[in-house]
Chains A and B, each alone.
Chain A
Amino acid sequence: MSGALLRHPRVRNYARLAPAILTITLLFGGALAGAVRTSVLPLGQDATLATWRSLLHAPELGDAALFTLRTALISTLLAAAVAVAIALAVWRRGTWVRALLALAVPIPHLLVATVAVLWLAPGGLAERVLGALPITLVRDRAGLGVVLVYVYKEAPFLALLLLAAMGQGYREREEACAALGASASQRLRWVTWPTIRGPLVVGSIIVFAYVLGAFEVPLALGPSYPPTLAEYAFNATRGDLISGQSTAAATLLLTSVAAMLLAVLAVRLAKDPQGD
């Protein structure tokens, strides 16, 4: 009977994934449980929901959540669009283009943010060279600088994922369709999109989750207000040294839940094999 169960494809898939899932559940499930505990157990006090109550009533939390979601959404969509454009432009070229793209991936976000501050901040190098910049990118209320840094960092990453999918098989399908007289837009719809949709969605979810939880770029480039959720959590530990950690843990838990919910939603939306 167990043999029959194991032959069931879905069960087999999960069985193969079990070592990875188990490790991650232990490692990160433990961290999540620790965060839950920290959020309800302020140092030296009994268990209480006071942290959650005051967090959910803080007007700054709403501002921070909105700002974070907006930044993450815009960054992800722009990065995905740029990545698709890059992939379509260079997929026929050799490995050197990929190597060039890969160069941008390991550069730390903080480094890019710092360079952006050096160049683009008021009084930065760009302003000294050009006299004045038409727009403010550093510490602007809309978070434009933050979005730009993420697009710069994540677009090459997504493009590499897409290029990995656009290999020999894709080339053959694409050429076959072209030979059969399919127009460029038809090939894009029936060949390219089904090929890249999977990696694009999965990659975008990773990017979105990263931007949602990331912290150093908004700290370096973001506005004084609103903060991102991660900055809000960080500030909470500064404002109240002892119970601030509970607030920070609660805030980061909310961020995690939001990221996971949005990931489920994104996967559901992108499930249709036709991609529409």
Chain B
Amino acid sequence: MRPSWCLALVAVAALMTGGLTACGGSGTAPRSGNAPASADGFTATLRAARGQTVRWWLYGGDEKVNAYVDNVVAPAARRLGVTIKRVPITDTADAVQRVVAERRAGKTSGGAVDLIWINGENFAAGKRARLWLMQWAAALPNARRYVDASDPSIARDFQVSVEGQESPWQRASFVYAHDSVKVPAPPRDLDALFAYAKAHPGRVTYPAPPDFTGSAFVRQVVSVKGENAAFAYLRRIKPYLYRGGVTYPKSEAELSALFGDGRVDFAMSYDSSFVGSAVRKGQFPASARPFLLGGEALQNTSYVTIPANAARAAGAKVVANLLLSPELQAAKLDPAVLGNPTVLDRGRLGTKRALFAAKRNSRYVLRDYGRTVAELPADRVASLEQRWTREVLRSP
């Protein structure tokens, strides 16, 4: 019996440690600072980028973004000799984790991540840990030409100063969806949402933070009501939520599926054109429409950043610069493509402004996002998520 139980123990150890290997191999490595790109150095960057394959890690759950990258960005990059390899991830934190793991392993160059679509706490955490290439974004030719670096919604990402470590790409607004046939008049604000949930128990829910979308909903409540009142509100509404608030959807996709199946009455997303995409996919009924709570919307800018140990930093810079070209920014305005407002400063566009004039309207995209609810500071996001777990999710 002895050897066999010895083997059993060994097997247990093997099984248990299998899960640990991902965390092993730590090591802190000092990294040299990165020389700031010289102002006229972009031709050199373009030359260095030629022939490079840039591995761009980005959230892969948005088919319109994927199509935009594949059909609009990639061909333009190819003309500059740069190939884009899209690395689809379910959560931007995956990319940050990868860079952290490389950093722990002492890998200071040749990293597997060249470019990340990022903002908020993901960027801030990496900035604190000095993971990103420094002082490059403002030197991009298109950034100098078309971006208003003094605009606070560009210079500060979730109230964290960008400091040239990431280059703006998209603007997003947090919107809700309702079915205009079933619920012709959606709640106008958070209190109306509470009244609606109370009158229709089980028909309202939101994804559980730390999911990106659920976390944004909690931040909107906190921004509007103040932190303590917000948590009181979330606790009060909990029993009237889907399945009594015992369980929450784990992601925006899960909430959208519930809404599409008619099991809850509202969906929500930080992608302001998500209703149109879901209708096109057949997930939402054609009568689905976007709406705002309280006539205002959380708004943020998202960026691309380059890890300091990226193997193809030159190619990544070329792509970041390309993303700021008026042609590519204008292509995003079309709701059928992305339906996202531009990050460029219209006053600086000159003759290129004509590109932005022919903006098409869609009943699936709001024309106006009302008042802007500024995003909370990035370092508050994690503590809000933890408080939500403790005070809302955990409490019976």
Residues of chain A at the chain B interface (Cβ within 8 Å): 10, 13, 16-17, 20-21, 24, 27-28, 30-35, 37-38, 41, 43-44, 59-60, 63, 122-123, 136, 139-141, 198, 201-202, 205-206, 209-210, 212-213, 215, 219, 223-226, 230, 235, 237-242, 245, 248-249, 252-253, 255-256, 259-260, 263-264, 267, 271
Question: From residue A173, how far is it (CB to closest CB) to chain B in Å?
Answer: 19
User: Beyond A241-B122, A252-B16, A256-B13: 13 further Cβ-contacts under 8 Å?
Assistant: A13-B2, A43-B28, A59-B390, A59-B394, A141-B247, A206-B8, A213-B15, A237-B97, A239-B210, A245-B97, A249-B23, A255-B19, A271-B1
Contact B8 A24 (CB under 8 A): no
Determine the residue in chain B with the shortest Cβ distance to A258. Answer: B16
| B15 contacts A267, C-beta separation under 8 Å | no
Please give, as numbers and ranges, the residues of chain B lying within 8 Å of A32 by CB-CB distance. Answer: 17, 20
A33 to B27, CA, bound (A): 12
Contact assessment for B14 and A259 in the assembled complex, using a CB-CB cutoff below 8 Å: no
The answer to whether A241 and B125 touch across the interface, beta carbons within 8 angstroms, is yes
Complex-state Cα separation, A11 to B4, whole angstroms: 15
Does the CB pair A225–B394 fall under 8 Å? yes
Candidates B15, B243, B389; contact of A209 at CB < 8 Å:
B15
Contacts of B385 in A (CB 8 A): 239
> B26: shortest Cβ distance to chain A, in Å?
4
**B96 → A minimal CB distance (Å):** 5
Residues in A neighbouring B128, C-beta threshold 8 A: 242
Expressed in whole angstroms, the minimum distance between the Cβ of A53 and any Cβ of chain B is: 16
- Chain B contributes a number of interface residues (CB within 8 A of A) equal to 59
- Is the Cβ of A256 less than 8 Å from the Cβ of B16? yes
List the B side residues contacting A17 at CB < 8 Å. Answer: 3, 6-7
A140 partner residues in chain B, CB cutoff 8 A: 246-247
A residues less than 8 Å from B48 (CB atoms): none
Residue numbers in B under 8 Å from A202 (CB-CB): 4-5, 7-8, 11
- Assess A34 versus B25: contact at CB under 8 Å? Given A43-B103, A238-B210, A271-B1: yes
CA distance A24 to B7 in the complex (A): 11
Q: Which single residue of chain A is at the shortest CB-CB distance from B210?
A: A238
Which of A34, A63, A209 contacts B23, CB < 8 Å?
A34
Check B23 against A35 for contact (C-beta < 8 Å): yes
CA of A133 to CA of B26 in the docked complex: distance in angstroms? 48
Contact flag A239-B247 (CB < 8 Å), given A21-B10, A267-B5: no
User: By the criterion CB–CB under 8 Å, are B15 and A210 in contact?
Assistant: yes
Q: Residue among A31, A198, A255, A263 with the most chain B CB within 10 A?
A: A31
Chain A CB within 8 A of B32 CB: no
* Bound form: Cα–Cα A122–B24 in Å: 39
Contact of B9 among A33, A60, A260 (CB under 8 A): A260
Q: Is the CB of B21 within 8 A of A242?
A: no
Chain B 82-123: CB-based contact to A (< 8 A → 1; otherwise 0): 000000000101001100110110000000000000000110
B382, CB-defined interface residue at 8 Å: yes
Residues in A with CB closer than 8 Å to B243 are: 122, 136, 139
Q: Which residues of A contact B125 (CB under 8 A)?
A: 240-242
